[in-house]
Amino acid sequence: MGTRVAVNQVLRLAVRNATISTLCPRQFGRYYRQSRWCCSSTNQATQHNQDLNPPSGIPVTELSLRSFIDMGFTESQAEQIYESLANVRRGDSAKHILPTLTALFVLGLNPSSVKKCLEKCPELYTTKEAQLQQRISNLRKMGLVEGSLQRVVAHYPRILTVPLKRVKNVVMFLKEKCLFTSQQVTDIIRDCPAVVLENLDQLEYKFQYVYFRMGVKQAEMVKCRLFRYSLDEVRCRHTFLERRGLYETPDKKGQTTIINPNLDSILNVDQDTFLAHVAQASAEEYDVFKRLAAREWQEEELQQGRTEPDSDDEDDDEDVDDDDDREAKSGYEKRRKK
């Protein structure tokens, strides 16, 4: 914790004297490494504070291998990042890469974690600084505290490339249409961050399926991390149990004539465990069922005219089409009337 605080303090000092967009890589690396070094000893910290005189900013037009090493990456890491950078548009990458690295370091990620984020999501190379800051700030407002926020970004860095309006639409949908509490929505984003890119129609269908067909309430959905799984995965295992007489849809009072297995034992186990301890069936039986069910569901979708997933090609948070808002608000009511 002390190291992260020191890093943040020194980087803020650097930013006050030169904006992130114009900070020289060597300057950035110097502030970052020295701020970590100063935490190891009080005397060294004092000397560091005396010597720290940030120079004026130098526009960044080209990033070299040495630049990345100065930031704290190993030679091997620097080479890999440099090669990756060469594969994206040179002008945009040179303009945005330093603010991106700064934002990730200030967030509390170490060089190894930063490198993994860039490998998982190369789009971060060209993400605008203002958008990054807005998206990180929004995640904090949603209740992702220190530790959770860093783990989410490290595990799913793509969340920093999703337009702000898109995230807010999903949050609104989970609260207003699925009736999750604010804390439950925070837990969903923390444990299943990819939900922010899920098609709202599919998200609604999955929620309704688990809520009405399986009789599972919101608290259990969140606890079992339902939104990590696709609708097909959920429906396949549930229907297999149902047709074997091992799962029964609760009546209006929530009663069943058998004891249904809980959602955790259905989803959060591998296939062998599911078949042996829950479905009590062989792998051959399940494989045959999956093939037949896939064909059956495909025919149903063609008959019902199920919609295609949303396209997420918005460039800026401010330029998202308002059609997404109207779709989010009206989709649930339309399906409910059917």
Q: Is the pLDDT of residue 65 over 60?
A: yes
pLDDT at 84: 81
Contact 127, 96 (CB under 8 A): yes
pLDDT at 126: 86
Mean pLDDT of 11-34: 46
Nearest-5° angle of CA 135, CA 164, CA 145? 40
pLDDT at 266: 97
Least reliable range by pLDDT among 85-94, 146-155, 294-303: 85-94
CA distance linking residue 186 with residue 115, whole number of Å: 26
318 or 183: which carries more pLDDT confidence? 183
Helix/strand/coil for 206: helix
Compute the Cα dihedral for 194, 195, 197, 201 and give only its sign. Answer: positive
Contact 111, 71 (CB under 8 A): yes
Give per-residue pLDDT as tens, 189-239. 999 999 999 999 999 999 999 999 999 999 999 999 999 999 999 999 999
Torsion of CA 256, 257, 259, 265, to 10 degrees: -60
Query: Cα(first)–Cα(last) distance of the chain, in Å?
Result: 53
Quick one: what percent of the chain has pLDDT higher than 70? 69
Give per-residue pLDDT as tens, 253-310. 889 999 999 999 999 999 999 999 999 999 999 999 999 999 998 888 888 765 444 4
